Amino acid sequence: MNLITTNLASIHEKNEFCCGKELLDNYIHRQASQDVKRKLSACFVLIESGSNIIKGYYTLSNNSIPLALIPENIKKRLPKSYKSIPSTLLGRLAIDKNYQAKGVGKILLVDALKRSYLISKSMGSFAIIVDPIDNEAEWFDAKYGFIKLPDSGKMFFPMKTVKQLFEK
Ligand SMILES: CC(C)(COP(=O)(O)OP(=O)(O)OC[C@H]1O[C@@H](n2cnc3c(N)ncnc32)[C@H](O)[C@@H]1OP(=O)(O)O)[C@@H](O)C(=O)NCCC(=O)NCCS
């Protein structure tokens, strides 16, 4: 399998995508292209090179976290003058049912982390944020090291930790 990620384009068979979660299916069917056009988010699809079948997708956009939400042990190392901290939102991540439980979700998550890290070299981003839609999603994110932000359903992964994954 020669899997690649690329920007969502009209050639991709978005209406065939089905991960089993209505919210995530509807998003790629109806809203993703509009969000991309409006520059609200970037959407990346996982395909086999030369194919238009979407095996998975994720979205990224700029975001900020209120300083007050950051755990104390991390907050004490940040300047107090910052009321919000720049971050990258991994808004949605899903794998088509035909390809689930084959290691593809892990590949896609690593791709999203790496892309976010590379972007952070040209535009500051302190952490990657996810907002899991349910327990399964939370379990998946927690498995890969995302930390819960107190008093919020959101989870985060410090960019410093992401850096350690990709740079020795
Ligand atoms: C959650 C989701 C992204 C996982 O993708 P996937 O391709 O099925 O997962 P993978 O095959 O890469 O599995 C990754 C790990 O999770 C484990 N896993 C996957 N599905 C599992 C399940 N149903 N129960 C228990 N473990 C599971 C795998 O064993 C693997 O563990 P390992 O790293 O120790 O080998 C995918 O199932 C999905 O799109 N679900 C619906 C949408 C959704 O919930 N998205 C939110 C995720 S943020």
Q: Which fold has domain 3-166?
A: Aminopeptidase (3.40.630)
Q: What DSSP letter does each residue of the chain carry, written as one string?
A: --EEEEE--TTS-GGG---S-HHHHHIIIIIHHHHHHTTS-EEEEEEETT-----EEEEEEEEEEEGGGS-HHHHTTS-TT-SEEEEEEEEEEEE-GGGTTTTHHHHHHHHHHHHHHHHHTTS--SEEEE--SSHHHHHHHHHTT-EEPTTSS-EEEEHHHHHHHH--
Alpha carbon dihedral 103, 60, 75, 168, in 10-degree steps, equals 50
Question: In this structure, what token pair is assigned to residue 52?
Answer: 């238009």
Whole-prediction pTM:
0.94
16-45: per-residue pLDDT in tens? 999 999 999 999 999 999 999 999 999 999
Q: Residue ranges per domain, the chain? A: 3-166
In short, whether 20's Cβ falls inside 6 Å of ligand 1 is yes
Residue 150 has pLDDT above 90, yes or no: no
Residue 13 has pLDDT above 90, yes or no: yes
Residue 1 has pLDDT above 80, yes or no: no
Identify the residue whose C-alpha is closest to ligand 1 atom 20: 101
pLDDT at residue 151, rounded to an integer: 78
140: CA distance to ligand 1 center in Å?
6
92-121: per-residue pLDDT in tens? 999 999 999 999 999 999 999 999 999 999
In short, whether 47's Cβ falls inside 6 Å of ligand 1 is no
In short, whether 21's Cβ falls inside 6 Å of ligand 1 is yes
82: CA distance to ligand 1 center in Å?
36
Residue type at 137 in one-letter notation: A
